[in-house]
Amino acid sequence: MHGACCPAVYAFPLMRVPVVIIGAGPAGLLLSQLLAREGIENIILERQNRAYVEARIRAGILERLTVELLERCGASERMRREGLVHDGFSILLNGELFRIDMRALTGFAVTVYGQTELTKDLIDAVTARNGRIEWEADDVALHDVDSAAPYLTFVKEGVTERIDCDFIAGCDGFHGVSRGSIPASRVSLYERKYPFGWLGILADVPPCNHELIYSNHERGFALASMRSPTRSRYYIQCPLEEKLEEWPDERIWEELQARLGEAAANITRGPALEKSIAPLRSFVAEPMQYGRLFLAGDAAHIVPPTGAKGLNLAASDVFYLSRALIAFYRQGSADELSDYSERALTRVWNAERFSWWFTGLTHRFPDMDSFARRIQLAELSYIKQSRAAQITMAENYVGSSV
């Protein structure tokens, strides 16, 4: 934490690198690769071990900017080979599907590639160049981040170590230490918690459709997605107080059957590889920088998963931050570092708006009366009939390049 007293004993020799990255998730790994390819030395500190990080189940819809960055940093080969390019997605209205043809409407598509696999690819890329990741780095603390000489301390195998640096990139997620190291008086928090969660099931069964299906049903939202042609990922809206033990596999499949309308006939059932209930929230911390500390990804913002923006926002943060750091070390200019937060937040708030809107369009809220429900259905009907409305939706879904 800022201003914390430095432990009395360190492992020697003391380390110094230009950039320290906290967190070995996609944001931290991607930033490390982009900097290293420009000759900028960096080190990643990660609280968990490698096996834990590689096993985390996450979403996996990649916008074109994310794909471009993976290619730029040399971690795209398997994604290009195994990823599924989706030209569109479908919405279920009154039991019937209508399709948003993103390719025809915008000229662009998205790539379905699991974040778990993407993380593995990035870890492999970092280790292949002998990049340094300190796994199981406990009690990470940030010091003097508002000075020209910030440093970090952490505990590894019972020994306290110190790293001096020029800059710190906080890529350690919503519950990480980075955002909490900024004085409360210097950051504004914006949050919206949703009164429901997503119950997800992962199963080794073929998807019920070749593209994603977003269902607005009187019983609640449902999403049919996939990780591969043989692995499906389904979600259903459920109350936050629900418990996983109340949802045996058969009950989940029955609920999906009810909510997926005409697509239900193509559902293949199978045992769950993984089940979870995730709460939904919208969250933004701004500014995304304080002194020599820069936040990226979930450390700075959270979006509900409806619009598939979380991973892609992390990638866009990394784009702006890597470009700013490269300009500092290559050209001696700090202008882009000064502007990082403003540039990143422009994209963040646009994604927050779309994710909030899409969630409101497809979910049933506890306080939704008959009028609100009819308005929701009328808006979906308008989108179905209006090319202009579909273009707006497709543009937001595929994301913009920069």
132 close to 44: Cβ distance less than 8 angstroms: yes
From 151, 214, 234, 320, the catalytic residue:
214
Strand 301-302 and strand 61-62: the pairing is: unpaired
From 305, 320, 340, 363, the catalytic residue:
305
Catalytic residue status for 305: yes
CA dihedral 325, 330, 332, 337 (to 10 degrees): -20
Catalytic residue status for 86: yes
Catalytic residue status for 363: no
Alpha-helical segments (H) within 247-334: 249-259, 310-331
Structure tokens at 117: 């696999």
Catalytic residue status for 113: no
From 309, 320, 340, 363, the catalytic residue:
309
Structure tokens at 317: 């943060």
24 close to 296: Cβ distance less than 8 angstroms: no
From 2, 26, 86, 234, the catalytic residue:
86
3-state helix, strand, coil in the chain (%, to 5): 40, 30, 30
Catalytic residue status for 290: no
Q: Which region, left, alpha or beta, applies to residue 157 given φ > 0 means left and ψ of -120 to 50 means alpha? A: left
- Locus of tokens 């629900």: 242
CA 262 to chain centroid, in Å, comes to 30
Structure tokens at 195: 């009164």
Coil/strand/helix, residue 6: coil
* CA 203-206-212 angle, 5° bins: 90
The catalytic site residues sit at 86, 214, 305, 309, 397
